[in-house]
């Protein structure tokens, strides 16, 4: 019943930065997900949600802003209305930079955009693992001079260093309010898990339990393509014979599973879904600890 909690905070954080600053690494570290993209109902700023992190006292909703690092004259072509509004509707902007590098052209494009928005800006100085201690302070001072930032947080996205502090700082800029997303939708991880469960359920139902319950379904790709969601999943079975059953005569079985699951995934995500299924045989994969880790089933 987090929704009824007093002083609960909930809001949108736009993460911007020029390519290679470490945006994806950071989001993946925060969301504990390989691919940090999710879908939502079209025509809202939520269209650009890259992940949700729900804590006891705060729900962090990260929104993406594609094309922000492009020159102004290209922006019109690159950005759609949604990408603009994601930034305009956010509560705080997290600007990630490669702390070992200097302020460049890409950064001045971002700065120009940010200055029109009048939102709090937190500078995320990334890659501090590459900086010797005596240089860290110099770099902090250097970046501090580039703009009147509300906060500066040095981190290493790669080493997951100082990420708690970053979240704490973000929280300071989020408004009080109930979680905007259902509690069970704690993170992409849960959404991804549920999506895989839908496919697994169809497999068990359609194959009349000729396939053991322990069949694994792994989400391998998840990509928003326009208004559609592309999902690629791997079904892992123990034996060659199970693979045969799953695929079926003229691939009728796997097609039927795919179409049924696709329909349900469409309802769940609220957008069109293109589901692609692959079947792989991994002999006795359940007995191999490293396989279980590889499939992300150890959590």
Choices 19-27, 73-81, 241-249, 282-290 (CB under 5 A): range interacting with K ion: 19-27
Q: Are β-strands 58-63 and 49-54 bridged in parallel, bridged antiparallel, or unpaired?
A: antiparallel
- Would you count residue 154 as binding K ion (CB under 5 A)? no
* Near Mg ion in 125-144, by CB under 5 A: none
- Would you count residue 20 as binding ligand GDP (CB under 6 A)? yes
CB contact set of 13 (below 8 Å; sequence gap of 6+): 60, 61, 62, 63, 90, 91, 92, 93, 94, 170, 174
Which tokens hold the place of 39?
A: 């879908």
- Would you count residue 17 as binding K ion (CB under 5 A)? yes
Which tokens hold the place of 28?
A: 């993946």
CB of 98 to ligand GDP, least distance (A): 7
- Would you count residue 158 as binding ligand GDP (CB under 6 A)? yes
Distance CA 176, CA 10 (A): 6
Distance CA 204, CA 221 (A): 22
Distance CA 289, CA 292 (A): 5
Cβ distance to K ion smaller for residue 17 or 94: 17
- Would you count residue 24 as binding Mg ion (CB under 5 A)? yes
Q: Mutual orientation of helices 252-269 and 188-206 as an angle, nearest 10°? A: 140
* Near Mg ion in 4-23, by CB under 5 A: 23
- Angle ∠(151,152,154) on CA atoms, nearest 5: 150
With CB under 5 A as the rule, give the number of residues binding Mg ion: 2
- Would you count residue 113 as binding K ion (CB under 5 A)? no
- Would you count residue 25 as binding Mg ion (CB under 5 A)? no
CB of 127 to ligand GDP, least distance (A): 4
What does 54 interact with, of K ion, Mg ion, ligand GDP, none (CB < 5 to 8 A by kind)?
none
- Would you count residue 165 as binding ligand GDP (CB under 6 A)? no
- Single residue of 17, 51, 154, 179 touching ligand GDP by CB under 6 A: 17
Tell me: is residue 22 an annotated ligand-binding position: yes
C-alpha distances in Å from residue 145, one per residue of 142, 178, 234: 6, 37, 49
- Would you count residue 65 as binding ligand GDP (CB under 6 A)? no
Query: Is the CB of residue 274 less than 8 Å from the CB of residue 229?
Result: yes
| Contact positions vs ligand GDP (CB under 6 A) | 17, 19-25, 126-127, 129-130, 156-158
């Amino acid at each position: 019943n987090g929704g009824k909690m007093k002083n609960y905070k909930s809001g949108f954080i736009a993460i911007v930065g020029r390519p290679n600053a470490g945006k994806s690494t950071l989001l993946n570290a925060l969301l504990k997900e390989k691919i940090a993209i999710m879908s939502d109902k079209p025509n809202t700023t939520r269209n650009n949600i890259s992940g949700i992190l729900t804590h006891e006292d705060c729900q962090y909703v990260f929104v993406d802003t594609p094309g922000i690092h492009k020159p102004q004259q290209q922006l019109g072509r690159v950005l759609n209305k949604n990408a603009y509004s994601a930034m305009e509707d956010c509560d705080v902007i997290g600007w990630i930079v490669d702390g070992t590098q200097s302020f460049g052209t890409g950064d001045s494009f971002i700065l120009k955009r940010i200055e029109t928005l009048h939102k709090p800006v937190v500078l995320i100085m990334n890659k501090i693992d590459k900086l010797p201690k005596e240089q860290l302070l110099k770099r902090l001072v250097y970046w501090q001079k580039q703009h009147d930032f509300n906060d500066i947080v040095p981190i290493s996205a790669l080493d997951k260093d100082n990420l708690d502090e970053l979240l704490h700082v973000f929280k300071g800029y989020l408004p009080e309010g109930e979680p905007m997303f259902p509690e069970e939708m704690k993170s992409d991880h849960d959404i991804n898990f549920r999506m895989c469960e839908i496919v697994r359920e169809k497999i068990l139902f359609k194959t009349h339990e000729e396939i053991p319950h322990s069949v694994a379904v792994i989400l391998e790709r998840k990509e928003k393509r326009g208004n559609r969601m592309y999902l690629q999943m791997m079904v892992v079975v123990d034996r060659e014979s199970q693979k045969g059953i799953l695929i079926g005569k003229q691939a009728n079985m796997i097609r039927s599973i795919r179409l049924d699951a696709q329909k349900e995934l469409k309802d769940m995500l609220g957008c069109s879904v293109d589901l692609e299924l692959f079947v792989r045989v991994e002999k006795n994969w359940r007995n191999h600890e490293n396989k279980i880790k590889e499939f992300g089933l150890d959590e």
